[in-house]
Chain A
Amino acid sequence: MTTYMRRKVLNNAGYVLAVVCVILAIIPLGAMIYYVLKEGGSDLTLNFFTQTPAPVGESGGGMSSQIVGTIILIIVASIIGLPVGIMSGIYLAQAIGTNRFASTVRFCTDVIAGTPSIVAGVVAYAAIVIPFGGFGAIPGGVALALLMFPTVTRATEAAIDLVPEAMREAGLALGLPEWVTMARIILPAARSGIVTAVMLGVARVAGETAPLYLTAFGNDVMTVSLKLSLIHI
């Protein structure tokens, strides 16, 4: 085989290998979706969304308390995590490039972003459950907020960076103070990016289980109070 033919065969073999790898990567996705739909699809009745779980051993019942619990936890986590995330994102976006403090904040955000979810749960447990006693939505919300806010910070900073500098300078040229240009010009321009940032943050924590194992585990009864234990889906 000439060198030319060998290189050509190698090229085509590489292409085939790449296609095989992509199929290998997509197969688990398809298998998982298929399995979840097949096993669980038949149970998605109206009961599922409106009834609380039946006692052990009986059939029927639903998951409404768990769904409500999930929503409550996401709301609590957002209340704690979103202001921190968005404000830090704004700070990082408008900080001078050589600012040492901004670099430190960015580094810390990245470190917290890499925290394993179980460690966030342990920290929330140690910080809130041990001193104050109760499990429930508040320590669970704190753990989720810890996981949520770095994502929101980074995405908010990216969204604000996308706004052209000319808009900010136009606002300043008109005599507006910095905070008015940020609030009235730049943030509305970055609005869709910030909404995406919030959605990314919520998506990050909506599926978390491990931190809630330690902080918010509880009962199946429908509870809306923040103090009582909730169970997460």
Chain B
Amino acid sequence: MHRCPPMEEASLTSRERVVPGVRLAPSRSDAAVLEKLVTSSTTPAEVRRPPHAVAASSNLGDRIYSALTTGFAGLVVAVLALLFVILVVQSRVSITRFGFSFLTSSTWDPSRNIFGAFPAIAGTIYTSLLALLLAAPIGLIVAIFLTELAPRWMRSTLGFFVELLAAIPSIVYGLWALFVLVPLVQQHVEPFFIGHFGNTALFSGYPIGLGFFTASIILAIMVLPTISAISRDVMKAVPGTQREAMLALGGTTWETTWKAVIPYARSGIIGAILLALGRAVGETMAVQMVIGSTTGAFNISLFSTGTTLPAQIVNQFTEATGSIYPAALIELALILMIITVILNALARLLIWRMNRRSA
């Protein structure tokens, strides 16, 4: 029988990232399932227990237990539905007032009660895409290093440090960016680019340090651990036979990675990137501190200030009076939620497909 390589210890954080929800059809024999459960300490999402019934029991305790757990689970579904209902109901005034032009208009005038979300939406997409442009290659290469290239003794410690980046609260990122990154960009980066390329649309503006550029950098730092961690998981899930076959054919380590492992894990990696995009879109505090929070029209220059959906909401929510102003802000939250849900659903679909394929 083919001897499996020793499995690595299950860590809850890595399990948490693998999307639960992929279950084998119950046609696998119970013995095979039990053997796999007993011999490995990692139960990947593919291994499932044989089916059994809980609720159809004559025991009162069982019925209470079943009702309790099902009730709380149903509460989850209800909470999600309620979430959307609340957002739509509270922003109804704004939706009926502005309709579709809310998404395309650039006027944000609280004094005249005219609101338009286009600068916020454009700013959100712009900063998130830029952040991904920076973070995806670096995160992917860090993941490659951690799974393929690093010596074994280094892998877990280094992985721990990279994931520590994810544990830092976003407000700490924001404060550090404000006090360290903004002066750095203002004094060294922006004068150079504005001096040499200042007449192009992309680099025009004044060196204030705040703006899309700094916001993208701090967002990139924040989403890098997400990309790195999920890519690590999907690359670990690639069967060892792929690597061994490539090495047997005489490939170097780098070639093995790029030609055998990455194509296999491709959809999972794209899922990781989409998930990171979803996180970047919703990031509030760090971005709000360095983006300048101006409500004027969207300017494509890297060094201009702007706003994002979360930053716009958090800046103005506490001052919003009347009925249209808060409704407009809640409509911004609704747009943000829809964007995030779509991105997350796409991401999980891709990661799920990747896990399914490697089963």
Contact = CB atoms under 8 A, between A and B. Distances in A.
Contacts of B336: 116, 118-119
Contacts of A180: 61
A54 interface: no
A179 B61 contact: yes
Contacts of A121: 314
A149 B73 CA distance: 11
B72 A87 contact: yes
Q: Which of B12, B284, B317 has the most CB of A within 10 A?
A: B12
Contact of A18 (B68, B73, B145): B145
B231 interface: no
* Dominant secondary structure at the B interface: helix
A178 B252 CA distance: 54
B138 A29 contact: no
A122 B87 contact: yes
Interface in B1-40: 10, 12-13, 15-16, 19-21, 23-26, 33-34, 37-38
B313 to A, nearest CB: 5
Contacts of A24: 138
Interface in B76-104: 76-77, 79-80, 82-83, 86-87, 89-90
A101 B71 CA distance: 12
Interface in B250-275: 252-255, 257
Contacts of B215: none
Contacts of B230: none
Interface string A24-38: 111011011001100
A208 B317 CA distance: 17
Contacts of A114: 278, 282, 340-341, 343-344
Contacts of B70: 91, 101
Interface in B289-325: 310, 313-314, 317-318
B330 interface: yes
Q: Which of B139, B180, B343 has the most CB of A within 10 A?
A: B180
B48 to A, nearest CB: 5
A226 interface: no
Interface string B207-250: 00000000000000100100010000000000000000000000
Contacts of B284: 116-118, 209-210
A108 B149 CA distance: 38
A211 B345 CA distance: 23
A31 B176 contact: yes
Given A31-B176, A88-B73, A97-B23, A196 B12 contact: yes
Contacts of A73: none
Nearest to B43: A161
Given A126-B87, A177-B59, A209-B285, A164 B38 contact: yes
B142 A162 contact: no
A178 B54 contact: yes
A199 to B, nearest CB: 10
A19 interface: yes
Contact of A165 (B12, B49, B329, B340): B49
A191 B54 CA distance: 22
Interface of B: 10, 12-13, 15-16, 19-21, 23-26, 33-34, 37-38, 41, 43, 48-54, 57, 59, 61-62, 64-66, 68-77, 79-80, 82-83, 86-87, 89-90, 137-139, 141-142, 144-146, 149, 158, 161-162, 164-165, 167-173, 176, 179-180, 221, 224, 228, 252-255, 257, 278, 281-285, 310, 313-314, 317-318, 329-330, 333, 336-337, 340-341, 343-345, 348
A-B complex: 9 closest residue pairs judged by Cβ atoms: A207-B169, A116-B282, A179-B65, A87-B72, A97-B23, A91-B69, A14-B254, A114-B344, A18-B145
